[in-house]
Structure 1
Amino acid sequence: MSASGLELYDFGGGLNADTLRGFMVWCAHNNVSDIHLQGDNHFVVGRYGRLLRASPFVVADDTLSKLMDEVFTPELRPKVRGGVAVDRAMQLDGDMTGRWGLNRGERIRFRVNLLQGTAGRQDSTIAWTLRVIPSDIPPLDSLGLEPDLMANLLPAEGIGLWGGITGSGKSTSLAASYRYCLDTDPDRKVTTKEDPIEFILGRSGDVLPPLQSQVGRDIPDFASGIRADLRRAPSVIGVGEMRDRETIDVGIRAGQLGHLMLSTTHINSPGEVFPRLINEFPHESRDAMAWSLLGVLQYVVVQRLLRTTDGKRVAVREYILFDYYLREKLAGMPWSQWGAHINNIIRLEKRRIVDQAWQLFRTGRIAESELAVVMSPLQRREFEEGIA
């Protein structure tokens, strides 16, 4: 076993479509989060936030291109070579033969991105990035959610949003929330709109398995999917991302009509949710949209995964719950000040991600280099001097 805790994969009889699939299964079984394949390079994997070589050889670009035709379809390569990035989901299913190292009935899914570019000496190569989607959705109570957040995670209606950078665990947290809802309140109908579908939420025994719709395959876009859902009596609507005006607009409407909509957005603090979403609208309609959003928002969570000194990762998060008193307070000021007020509450209560990272560093859970990822030198000096 290497110092990283991961040996190079043994491709046995050589590299082909089947041994590549076996490699993908091996990655999933060894807690790999991401697989990175590029021409004229070793296979590289991401494990607990660290990049590691995983193949004993460099893979030629033409070999990788042929594998792409076999693993996917021959029509896909010309599309990517033409400058079109491709996102899709991929699933491997086990059978009684135990192919690819999968047991009978075992299923592993991957979120795949294919993109052409220049990498090292390779002037033009198609890079594969595969996010391993765990077969089992982690129980919600295993995610270490704070008690008040856990208690308010599935309100009757409104909007709940998860923020953070790519790879911060937003999709996993949402999947765990949907599954928890299905397990504890089977009378609530759950639907999702995803790009692409990641976790398969349904299980045998569900009264009504969730209908998961994929952008580009089942629906043209998130907004159209939500509009269709409003005629299907859903209780909980999951949306991959609040990323454009149309999705934000119809998402707010869903919350106003008595549904619960859960989604993600790219923000670095809960207070950023208002400028991030409202600035998508024309200037003359922003005030009205801000008030509409305030009326339906139930909570905003921003999460980050930090590498720990034991070689794993821990989730830290900052969040705000929108109750009657907070809404009343915000109603007395311009919406442009709401974000600063919310972030100041979190700062005064010492619930920021940097507050938690500092405690993890002080107790030896994370290294100094990891602390520097979330804390600037000025912030660190303030913590050391006790004035943060």
Structure 2
Amino acid sequence: MDIKTLNQILEIAFAKRVSDIHFEVDNPPFFRAHGQLLRSKLPDLKPQDTEFIAATIMAKNKRKLPEDFSEFDASYALANSGGRFRVSIFRQRGNIGIVMRVIPPEIGTFQDLKLPGVLAEIVKAPNGLVLVTGPTGNGKSTTLASMINHINEKYAYNIITIEDPIEFLFKSQKSCIIQREVGIDTQNFSSALKASLRMDPDVIMVGELRDLETIDACIKASETGHLVFSTLHTQSAVSTINRIVGHFPPDTQGIIRQRLADILVATVSLRLIEDKSGEAVLPVVEVMRTTTTIQACIREGNLDEIGSHIEKGSAQYQMQSMDQHLIQLCKKGLITVREAKRVSTSMDLERKLTFT
């Protein structure tokens, strides 16, 4: 492996709009396209190949891998095409492996990404906490970037992003955008969050809520009049609230539910699903907006009732459950019932389809 070969592989991946490239010892490079992992016809990689790729990526970031590292996140950019990648470097069976996520060249609008139009209403909130959730690789970063860019285009705000690593590059439009990368511009999320409060922010975007300290700092920033966006690896509004509350000691969880009820604006939970043609993917989205009824559910710990309130609030508040969106996509002929049932966590999706 040399730099020319590596960049050729990445240029092709970027041009073909694959979503991920895998480099692992004793295998050729793999590409993920339209959700499917495809084995390339390139030669199997040797340990020195993946070591070279990792060293090249780190050199581009003006950093070195720690000798005792287990996993490491970074970014990489191509000079000619402008292609950008989010990089995960890790050890497996004593060797180095790399997965590179292709970052789309442009930040799509809600319409481009086939996201619900209500997101434009959610980002109008003057303050509070907005969470974008879902499994890895299901569009959280892309959706979050679209929301931040919508604010950038429409409102004159000071926006601060804290990311690990920086993925989408924003160009200040009506808003002023400051982008900080953990490990390069700041030590960690929580210290960057504390510093951001002294930087005259209107909007703060935190790449991921990874630990108690970061979660607590985001809640405090929301409580002090800022609009805060972040992501979590959860699959629904209920699991998101449970995850946040569960980070805190049991004797403080009641207070945390009250605080969360006061500042939570909305959760947007995503899954990508194969369309009927099998050649593209579509987002399936649960949208929960924190109405007074849902606030009461959070405060009192009655989270099991939230799902029904989401479905009941579809008309008035433009909320939707995952099943409601799956049914819409089935009715429009965009996805198969089989694919909808695969994604749904509900046991009675087929009955809902019959009676809708």
Relative to the length of structure 2, the TM-score reads 0.88
Residue identity over aligned pairs, in percent, reads: 27
- Between 1:274-283 and 1:348-357, the stretch displaced more is 348-357
Match of 2:325 among 342, 351, 356: 356
Paired amino acid for 1:335:
E
Moved more, 298-307 or 359-368: 359-368
- Alpha-carbon distance, 1:77 to partner: 6.2
Counterparts of 1:107-146 in structure 2, within 5 Å, are: 107-118=82-93, 124-146=94-116
Deviation by residue 1:92-139 (Cα, 9 ceiling, x = unmatched): 222xxxxxxx3xxxx221111111113xxxxx4321100011121112
Q: Which amino acid aligns with 1:344?
A: S
- Equivalent positions of 1:62-81 (< 5 A) are 62-73=48-59, 76=64, 79=67
1:72-93 residue CA offsets vs partner (Å, 9 max, x unmatched): 44985673xx452111111222
Measured in 2, the distance between the counterparts of 1:198 and 1:250 equals 22
Q: 1:40-59 residue pairs with structure 2 within 5 A?
A: 40-59=26-45
Amino acid at match of 1:143: L
1:298-342 Cα deviation digits (max 9, x unpaired): 111111111113300111101111134543x437xx5321x2121
Is 1:374 the counterpart of 2:351? The answer is no
Conservation of the 8 A alpha-carbon contact between 2:157 and 2:174: no
Paired with 1:84 and 1:214, the residues of 2 have a C-alpha distance of 20
**Which blocks of at least 5 consecutive residues in structure 2 are unaligned?**
315-319
CA drift at 1:60: 3.0
* 1:151-166 matched pairs, under 5 angstroms: 151-166=121-136
Q: What pairs up with 1:66-215 in 2 under 5 angstroms?
A: 66-73=52-59, 76=64, 79=67, 82-94=68-80, 102=81, 107-118=82-93, 124-185=94-155, 187-203=156-172, 206=173, 209-215=176-182
Task: Report deviation, 1:362.
Answer: 5.5
Matching residue's letter, 2:139: G
Indicate conservation of the 8 Å contact 1:149/1:321, yes or no: no
Mark the CA change 1:71 to 1:257 in structure 2 (over 3 Å): closer, same or farther. Answer: closer
**1:28-60 deviation per Cα after TM superposition (whole angstroms, max 9, x unaligned):** 111111101111212111111111123443333
What is the SS of the residue equivalent to 1:140? coil
2:213 counterpart of 1:243? no
What 5-or-longer segments of structure 1 have no aligned partner?
A: 1-14, 95-101, 119-123
Deviations 1:123-182 (A, max 9, x none): x43211000111211123423333334222231111111111111111111111111111
Deviation string for 1:194-214 (max 9, x for gaps)? 1111111125xx366411111
